[in-house]
Amino acid sequence: MDDPAFQVIVLGPTGGPKEDAVTGLLVRSTSTSWSKSSVVAVDAGTLLAGIVRILDQTLTTDEEGRAAVNDGPFVGLQPPHKSSHANAAYIFREVIASVLITHPHLDHLSGLAINTPIVEASNGPKTVAGLPSAISAMKHHMFNDIIWPNLSDEDGGAGLITYQRLVEGGNPRFGRGESRGYVRACEGLVTKCLSVSHGRCKQRYDAESGRHHRIGSAVFAPDQMVMSTARKLSIDQSDGAMYSPARSPHFAPGLGATPSKDTTNWGVVESSAFFIRDDKTGKEIIIFGDIEPDSVSLEPRNKRVWEIAAPKIVTGSLRAIFIECSYNDAIDDETLYGHLCPRHLIAELKVLASKVEEARPDQSQQEGQRRRGRSSKRKRKDSDTADYAREQPTDHNRDGQMLRNIPPLALTENQKMNSSATGASQGLACNGQTQKLDHRL
């Protein structure tokens, strides 16, 4: 692998029940120093507490009595203070440019709410970015002067945070070429967001009103609850048998996922997958929020993410995927509650592997181009990259089926698993379980 393009620091890898290590990650480009606005946070269940915990173990003083960090994830940071708490506040105020929220559940949001009062007016508001449904939930149900003070710059709030409502799938007005649709996350990094499904509930987001409403209210007529044609088409009918070895009782076998008759009484919990791109190298990572398998979802959306990811794997630009695996395989589909377990994660990766095969250039065509000598330097580079991808080690799952060319995985939420190594024990290629704090990718 080339020199790392990303550093990803895991502040919290769980969804509870302990509140001190719920989901939160920091991401920066290795092409930047630990300077102002050089880091983006992805989710903020844990934020300051996680930074303090690391600094408590690594902050020291040099020969002249100045604070220094010579070990751990924050190596290279020039701490302006001698205490871990003061330096954590400095990192939040100055170094973290924005916070990307995958979805507004407390284990992904609570740290942001508790930590935000330390933002100072002189630093300007902290950007909090997410899909409109996530921003709406934060605005109306968290920073609403009831659950928590309105610290936003909307509706007469304190102005400590500013909301950035992201365009689902990327904003086509921004970026060019491979960066089209991406928006700035921090210095050196850009991002785009795709929606994924995270279970079902009795609330549904209404884009017209910008708020969530209860299913059955006047806002939603019964025919609006039926899955749209676009969502139905997000699954290849030919892939129907690939999603899971354990078909959910909610769905009939056959052509893809078929919603149960009760879909008019349920809405879908929306979560996100962030594609984060390094400006300098063009390398990318994907960080998922909580996610359920397409095979049991009322609105299957994962295949669309895999279709976008597959060409990036073929060219070698996708460095890693951060994805949850909340349960072990003892769980049944009825009680997944919008999460993954190893059998479903493996099934999803098989779909990704099939999309990689489809996206891979035809080898004989490449050889013919090389023989004719008509390939440009760029085409030769793409061909070499594709050849390299084909030569990567193959991983086998417990059924002996092959998962080719899948980039390294890091399990971001496995608090419900009997063992954090469950995924790896079933053949997943993991570049680090949740015990690994600092990822260089």
* Residue 216: per-residue pLDDT: 60
* Residue 254: per-residue pLDDT: 32
DSSP strand pairing (189-201 vs 183-186):
antiparallel
Going along the chain from its start, the domains and CATH numbers come out as 6-440 (3.60.15.10)
Each of the 441 residues of the chain gets a pLDDT tens digit; together they read 679 999 999 999 999 999 999 999 999 999 999 999 999 999 999 999 999 999 999 999 999 999 999 999 999 999 999 999 999 999 999 999 999 999 999 999 999 999 999 999 888 999 999 999 999 999 999 999 999 999 999 999 999 999 999 999 999 999 999 999 999 999 999 999 999 999 998 877 777 777 777 766 554 454 444 443 333 333 333 333 333 333 333 333 333 344 453 557 788 999 999 999 999 999 999 999 999 999 999 999 999 999 999 999 999 999 999 999 999 999 999 999 999 999 999 999 999 999 999 999 875 455 555 555 554 544 444 444 334 333 333 343 443 344 656 777 776 766 443 322 223 222 333 333 345 789 999
* Residue 361: per-residue pLDDT: 87
Q: In DSSP terms, which residues pair with 98 in a beta bridge?
A: 40, 127
* Residue 419: per-residue pLDDT: 29
Is the omega angle on the peptide bond into residue 17 within 30 degrees of 0, that is, cis?
A: yes
* Residue 206: per-residue pLDDT: 76
Q: What is the pTM of this model?
A: 0.80
199 Cα distance to chain centroid: 16
